[in-house]
Amino acid sequence: MNSAPKKQTAIIGFPLSHSLSPLLHNAMYEREGVNAEMKAYANESITDLIKLIRETPIELTAVTIPHKQTVIEFLDEVDPAAIAIGAVNTIINRNGKLIGYNTDVVGIAKALEGVVLKDKNVLIIGAGGAAQAVGYYVEQKEGRMFCLNRNAEHAKSFVQKFGGRAISAEELENQEFDVIINTTPIGMSPHEAESPLTKNVFKPSQTVFDLIYNPLETKFLHEAKAAGAKTISGLTMFIAQGLGQERLWLGRGIEDKGYKELIIV
């Protein structure tokens, strides 16, 4: 039996009541034989959390709302892709040096594996932190982006950064979309009765991706599926971004060993 103290990893954010990250990462440690444990630290103060990471020390930190952007100035180094996205979801503590990365984009790539984006019309709903990682990925894949967001100014900044154009809800019916991606929390538990789009936008030829993974099938995805579209839930992204975090920390390939079954109970 390994009697060495467990290495510490963490998820930080506020609030954190629904985070599935400890469940996922602790299962990975068990299945990979890594002597570590992930704990959740809900705190509104990023300075307190950075102090905790340096002093404990915490070797891998998963970062979520509201710290993904504000954490950047406290890090010693930030990966160029995370800088381009403008958000860090992972901090690796290498001998006291805090390095920031973004593995949301790894998760998005996995979720959209096999979906052609080049020269396709891609509607992105939302312009927040997760939307920035989607924008970065779709720009790399040369998709034609349209951004629909509650706050039109945020949509404008989004398209200035990643290309494409901002679109209003009224304009949607005059435009065809090949891929539709929801990056807002609309429809997330406990608001399952809500959807960010009206169902007449969905077509059988579309791929529709919702970043939400709780519930697994949101009203948005349910209506898209009923219209014949191919649907993708946020769970594939969630697991892939977590595997990406462990690969960065452990420096070796970590494969998916049925983690979906662990989360869908």
Report in angstroms how near the CB of residue 3 gets to ligand NAP at its nearest.
35
Residue 73, helix vs strand vs coil: helix
According to CB under 6 A, which residues from 48 to 67 bind ligand NAP? 65
**Residue of 8, 61, 149, 207 interacting with ligand NAP (CB under 6 A):** 149
Q: In this complex, which beta carbon is closest to ligand NAP, that of residue 7 or of residue 115?
A: 115
Q: Are 78 and 63 in contact (CB under 8 A)?
A: no
According to CB under 6 A, which residues from 80 to 99 bind ligand NAP? none
Which helix (DSSP H) or strand (DSSP E) does residue 252 occupy? none
Q: How far apart are CA 164 and CA 155, in angstroms?
A: 10
Q: In this complex, which beta carbon is closest to ligand NAP, that of residue 107 or of residue 143?
A: 107
- Pick from 53, 89, 82: nearest CA to 68: 89
Q: Which amino acid, one-letter code, is at 203?
A: K
According to CB under 6 A, which residues from 210 to 229 bind ligand NAP? 211-213
Task: Give the number of other CB atoms < 10 A from CB of residue 116.
Answer: 12
Within its chain, how far is the Cα of 169 from the centroid? 24
Sequence-distant (≥ 6) Cβ neighbours of residue 256 within 8 angstroms = 239, 240, 243
- Contact range with ligand NAP by CB under 6 A, out of 43-51, 91-99, 161-169, 208-216: 208-216
Rule CB under 6 A: say whether 148 interacts with ligand NAP.
Answer: no
Q: Are 61 and 12 in contact (CB under 8 A)?
A: yes
β-pairing, 97-101 vs 90-94, is antiparallel
Rule CB under 6 A: say whether 234 interacts with ligand NAP.
Answer: yes
- Contact range with ligand NAP by CB under 6 A, out of 40-48, 166-174, 207-215, 248-256: 207-215
- Pick from 125, 140, 212: nearest CA to 221: 212
Q: In this complex, which beta carbon is closest to ligand NAP, that of residue 163 or of residue 185?
A: 185
Rule CB under 6 A: say whether 186 interacts with ligand NAP.
Answer: yes
Write the interaction track for ligand NAP spanning residues 8-47; mark x where CB under 6 A is met and - where it is not. ----------------------------------------
DSSP per position, 61-119: EEE-TTSTTTTGGG-SEE-HHHHHHT---EEEEETTEEEEE--HHHHHHHHTTT---TT
Report in angstroms how near the CB of residue 207 gets to ligand NAP at its nearest.
16
Rule CB under 6 A: say whether 128 interacts with ligand NAP.
Answer: yes
68 is catalytic: yes
Where does residue 247 rank: exposed (0-12), middle (13-18), buried (19+ CB within 10 A)? middle
Q: Are 263 and 106 in contact (CB under 8 A)?
A: no
Report in angstroms how near the CB of residue 238 gets to ligand NAP at its nearest.
4
**Residue of 8, 10, 12, 129 interacting with ligand NAP (CB under 6 A):** 129
Q: Which residues bind ligand NAP (CB under 6 A)?
A: 65, 104, 107, 126-131, 149-151, 154, 183-186, 188, 211-213, 234, 237-238, 241
The residues carrying an active-site annotation are 68
